[in-house]
Amino acid sequence: MSLPYGYLATVALLAAATLFTLAAPVRPRPLAMLSFRLGVVVNELPFVAFASLLAATVLALAEGDLTSPAAAGVAAAAVVGLGAGLGLVAWRGRQALPAVRRAMGAVPVSRRLPYGRILFRPVFRRRRAVERIPGLTYGPAGRRNLLDLYRHRSRPGGAPVLIHLHGGGYTGGRKNTQSLPLLHRLAGQGWVCVSANYRLRPQATFHDHLVDAKKVIAWVREHGPSYGADPDRIVLAGSSAGAHMAALAGLTADDPAFQPGFEHVDTSVAAVVGLGGYYGPYYDGDPRTSPFAHVRPDAPPFFLAHGDHDTLAPVETARSFAERLRGLSTRPVVYAELPGGHHAFDLFHSLRFEAVVNAIDAFTAQVLSCGSPERPRWRPGPPARQSG
């Protein structure tokens, strides 16, 4: 009897992805990138990986490929061994909820998670109640200056706004690909959400990226009300490089150097949300291109979430940025370190990201209502970290 090579290849691929997910090497760089690419789906969707293993095993049994004792032993070892490894991955994902609850301190974070969506529709991101208006122009740079707008189909007025900037190392990425569970959740609750493209390297520079981010804010100030948005309640969010840009835009509000032609537009924001962000200098190494250089006492409130197993944007930099913000800013700074979290944890409806979305929901509700007498200023909990 021939060996079930197709089945063995499936098992080997799942085993490698699970191993890289659990080990998460950060050096050398090619190995870190391989770990990310192999593990990004498995780490957030271990149930899907296990279902794939079971489906491959059932198919191999149906085709008679596992009738020999050796093949049956391999299948049993694969199901038990990989099941245990994927179970550990799922357990780590479940620890995100207590981590974000600790980080938020006295502000309650919902314990409810949409398990049905996580288990059966983790990639299906849209909600029937949410309307998407794609391809709105906010600048002159063609496709790179387009944004998508999400709002509830009932079209409420005076809605708070979330602007999201995608990641991709400033060389790739596009709107409508990242943090969509967050955009759809908030839009379904009556927010107006915006996901924007921006100019990329090598054609664009650091200055161009930041100008584009501020142009998006300026567009919301001018055009947002016609879509039901409240231009005085803007939260700026980003993933990876988008978090770097969001942090810089939030910390350099109204700086005319980054607002050519719209110097007098108010580009301040109510809060900044960074997801798996890189916060060091730009490619040219200039320290002034790092958010560290712009932290100030009147910085907006920050919510930072970072995986402690991130192989592309090391967690140490995120920790240091949160500590610098806490040391200088007079506004709330929430830092949640996600156990077992890798880079790009915001792609799917997963245990980890849904917990983070719950925390962002609570964080934004708190910071947007701090001016009311029944919701006084608050202090977040201690940095939520996990070792290892």
Question: Annotated active-site positions, please?
Answer: 240, 310, 343
Q: Strand 229-239 and strand 192-196: pairing? A: unpaired
Report the b/e string of 341-364 with b at 16+ CB within 10 A.
bbbbbbbbbbbbbbbbbbbbbbbb
Q: Are 196 and 175 in contact (CB under 8 A)?
A: yes
* Residue where the block lists tokens 């899907």: 48
Quick one: 245 exposed, middle or buried, by C-beta within 10 A (0-12, 13-18, 19+)? buried
From the CB of residue 102, how many other CB atoms can be counted at a distance below 10 Å? 17
Q: DSSP letters along 320-341, please? A: HHHHHHHHH-SS-EEEEEETT-
